[in-house]
Chain A
Amino acid sequence: MTDSVIRARRTSEPQAKGDRSPRGAGRRRRRLHASGLPWILPALVLGIGLIYYCIGYTGYISLLNWDGLSPEPEWVALHNYLRIFQDPVFWKAVWHTAVFFVVTFGLQTLLGLVFAVMMHSKIKLGVLYKVIVFVPVVLAPAIMAPVFRQLFAANGQFNWLLEHIGLGFLAQPWIGQESTALPVIMVITIWQWTGLTFVLYFAAMSQIDQSMIEAARIDGAGNIRTLVSIIWPSVRGTTVALAILSAIGALKTFDVPWLVTIAGPNNATQFLGTYIYQTTIQLAHAGYGAALSVILLIVALVMAIVFQTAGRERNAEKNPVERGTN
């Protein structure tokens, strides 16, 4: 922005100098070259008018006892927020979100990294494998949900498979019991998003200087040592980006748990997104749902600030000279 303003001033100077009329020169001096502003104006208006207005309005609603339609909402101040902290379902949803993030991020990272390394190692039919790994990313959860409901049903294909490979003792109603419903949701999510992790790691690994890997090989590093000491540190930026995406994804989780288990049984797959929907739409507690939304927004903001701060500190440690010159 600063650069563009300077450029705008510079480009206006010759025009002012070339004008012989003092009156005309004065008018032109007043002329403002607002580079960029008209172009961002629609987005700015939409951003402020819709997004920030809606956030503010949600904040206002969160102070009401309201069904979302009634013309006479009741002002309850911070009562909804006080209720949230005593609500066991809310804490369940928070816990599920945290566990979901840790497990899905950890396993997706591991699988994506391994797939990317394998694809870089000149295997036959590599393109086919890439397509197979990536296809789940482009499939809509609404289409896949009935498939997974059938797959993990008590008489579904997964139990059938277990029985046919001699593991019938492990067969159980996967989405019909509290202990296994959340792991099923995590498995589906990992299946769906590992392809994206793989693609990002694959691209990041293409940027690694081959001479570094060759030097490591000459120094006697094996596959594991090369992966841990050369490749993993080299793709750290990608890992941080994936961590941010996974955290955002965990906070926004709605479609898979809602379509596969309706957030049940007994709230076993309840997340903040599903709870907000259930509270606001099904139970018609728009005020309480808005308070939950505000809490979700705060958590997301805190998480974004933490990741941003951590990223800057890492960059600063990595490039101390650049920091000094800036």
Chain B
Amino acid sequence: MTAVVSESPRTGLGPSLPRQYATIGMLLIAPTLLIFALVIAYPLVYAVYLSFFSIYTPTLKGGWVGLENYRVMLTSAEFWSALATTIVWTLGTLTLQVVLGVAMALLLNLNFYFRSLARSLVLFPYFVSTVVAVLVWRWMFNDVYGILNRALIVSGLSDMPLDWLGAMPNAMISVILVGAWKYFPFVVIAVLARLQTIPEALYEAARIDGAGAWSRFWDVTLPQLREVLLVIVLLRTIWDFKEFDLIYLLTGGGPVTSTETLPLLVYKQAFGMNSMGLASTYAIGIMLVLLVFMILYLRRARGDRGTAT
């Protein structure tokens, strides 16, 4: 047997076994690489390529402008204003999502009747389509028929309907509120999962030490949630920063440009002004900002893996 094994096993019969394994490995990984190249690498490289051109969207024809689009972007008040708006929107909605999400998760972690039903229902806003959600909210915000204005007038809080979406700061507040309502269930899911793994012994010890409810939350729960909250904040920052449909459908970026975030500016440049080159440049700008958060997230994830091993 030994003699047989020690012989060159495949001489004359084809490639060696390790080489065949390598080939099969490459074949198996090829679809992933192909899909990655098609749906991530190609659009990314193409966007960078387009950003060096002045291109008319419908015809995709245009000329080389080098770094001119980048100069326009960096010197344009529109870009910086949209960046500031994006930051306000992201910070506003993210803060509300986290506060609401943690509060709701704490509530859903308690024992009460119909807890399972409540846990299911709380996910509803996250799963409902953005278009449907916006249509419902627009109807609620409506000046003539909307339930919110009706409630304000009936309760005597206001004599006249409030212009929720067409005046500032109402428009930004409304968009932030709807965004928080739509996305806070994500925080609930993640935090609730973590809450269920916090050892009861920690709370027992805190109680023995005389800690009240607030102290237990502050000194036990919150430190235990720190890791998961960090990941949530990073992920939601990335997602909220590039939010398009919810804001576009609610306000279209108005009044004037008060709720025009960077993704809306990209859309406006690409399909309103038909400047695909400049739109690509703005998109690259967004990508660079998000890259910072992405790196933070990856470092965090790598750190976690390191700790685990």
Whether A and B are associated in the same complex: the answer reads no
Chain A residues in the interface with B (C-beta under 8 A): none
Chain B residues in the interface with A (C-beta under 8 A): none
